[in-house]
């Protein structure tokens, strides 16, 4: 094993796999020590010196210089050490080269397995490092297996495995082996054996990135996405604004005959998408956020981020949405609490308020006369 071809193979790994020779040599050194200890009764501290320039691998037993020896396998007296080299002092380490005996085929096999494991770990870490800058991006992936509600996918040219947890899966979506789908890279955790990539199909960022892919004006910065809120599998609201007065933001995102928005909807398996024009005026923004419902009036409670919204009677259910979804998403998008009322109810409340004020004025007037 210890020859020029062996060290040449290590150099080839750097070229083919991008693995630095020093990392590989360190893995091999650890593997050989573990294999030696596993297959011998030698209790000594052993180190291995691997020199690519000399194409050599040498075993050394290491003992620490002490005043009084309590463990002869790991310690050597100062007197004995100075017989080897006069400059030795307490605390120094004395290395004696030896040739391991009975370094059997089993030991070699053990070393080989550990080397392969280290290579896989190093290659995995190297591949993960390439994904560290891809958080908040989207990638096409292939479903490889589904276990205990977790979906494992292959992602990237290196076919690295990523994990989609149950909370990152869209309710109602089915994931089958070999399915291809777009995922949002939620988190890259590069931490030894626990290193992994977490991906999502529910993240609002998935919708934002899909629109960037199909609407050039967004990727070019002509149109800005101001916010996205989503209940995955059901409805998304995305707020946009044009930075160029000559560009129609809504038209650009919808596309000719709805082509662009439909492409996003298709990727999301039919999820409804409301495209909202952002406004600096929060009340105007709130009115638009309640799309597709028509809004008659929006007023704010002074000192609070609470908006009272009046809609036509026949649009109340549309404004609120099923189980309150439309109003809830609008509130998340705008950051305001929204109280939606029908026109008739708002009128009744207004009349009651005015009547109460009139009664108070009349009562106050009588008290004044008295």
For residue 158, what pLDDT is reported? Answer: 56
Displacement of CA 95 from its chain's centroid (Å): 48
In this predicted structure, what is the pLDDT of residue 1? 44
Domains of the chain plus CATH, in order, are 4-129 (3.30.1480.10), 135-200 (2.40.50.140), 211-278 (3.30.300.20), 281-370 (3.30.300.20)
Q: What average pLDDT does this structure show over 254-259?
A: 95
* pLDDT computed for residue 265 by the predictor: 97
Tokens of 28: 């091999």
120, 122, 207, 213, 267 from 197: Cα distances, Å? 16, 16, 19, 22, 21
pTM for this model (two decimals): 0.68
Indicate whether 366 pLDDT > 70: no
Residue 128 pLDDT greater than 70, yes or no = no
pLDDT value at 115 more than 50: yes
Q: Phi first, then psi: what are they for 341, rounded to 5°? A: -130, 150
In the predicted model, what is the mean pLDDT of the chain?
86
pLDDT class of 334 with cuts at 50, 70, 90: very high
pLDDT at res. 212: 96
pLDDT per position as a tens digit, 37-77: 777 777 788 888 888 788 777 888 899 999 999 988 889 99
């Amino acid at each position: 094993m210890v020859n020029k071809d062996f060290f040449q193979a290590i150099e080839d790994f750097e070229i083919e796999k991008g693995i630095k020779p020093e990392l590989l040599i360190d893995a091999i050194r650890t593997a050989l020590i573990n294999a030696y200890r596993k297959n011998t009764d030698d209790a000594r501290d052993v180190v291995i010196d691997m020199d690519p320039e000399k194409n050599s691998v040498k075993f050394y037993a290491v003992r620490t210089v002490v005043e009084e020896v309590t463990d002869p396998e790991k310690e050597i007296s100062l007197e004995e050490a100075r017989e080897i080299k006069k400059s030795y002092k307490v605390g120094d380490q004395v290395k004696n080269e030896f040739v391991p005996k009975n370094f059997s085929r089993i030991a070699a096999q053990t070393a080989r397995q550990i080397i392969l494991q280290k290579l896989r770990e190093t290659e995995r870490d190297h591949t993960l490092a390439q994904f560290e800058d891809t958080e908040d991006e989207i990638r096409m992936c292939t479903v490889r297996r589904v276990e205990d509600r977790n979906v494992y996918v292959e992602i990237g040219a290196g076919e690295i495995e990523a994990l989609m947890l149950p909370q990152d899966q869209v309710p109602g979506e089915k994931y089958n082996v070999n399915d291809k789908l777009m995922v949002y890279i939620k988190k890259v955790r590069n931490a030894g054996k626990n290193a992994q990539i977490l991906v999502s199909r529910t993240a609002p960022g998935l919708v934002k990135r899909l629109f960037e892919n199909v609407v050039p004006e967004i990727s070019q910065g002509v149109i800005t996405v101001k916010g996205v809120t989503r209940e995955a599998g059901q409805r998304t609201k995305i707020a946009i604004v044009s930075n160029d007065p000559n560009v129609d933001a809504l038209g650009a995102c919808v596309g000719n005959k709805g082509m662009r928005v439909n492409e996003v909807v298709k990727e999301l398996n039919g999820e409804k998408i409301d495209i909202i024009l952002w406004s600096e005026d929060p009340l105007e923004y709130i009115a638009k956020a309640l799309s597709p419902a028509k809004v008659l009036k929006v007023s704010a409670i002074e000192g609070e981020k609470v908006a009272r919204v009046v809609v036509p009677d026949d649009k109340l259910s549309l404004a609120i949405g099923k189980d309150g979804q439309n109003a809830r998403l609008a509130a998340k998008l705008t950051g305001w609490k929204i109280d939606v009322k029908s026109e008739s109810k708002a009128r009744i409340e207004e009349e009651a308020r005015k009547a109460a004020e009139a009664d108070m004025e009349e009562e106050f007037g009588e008290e004044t006369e008295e």
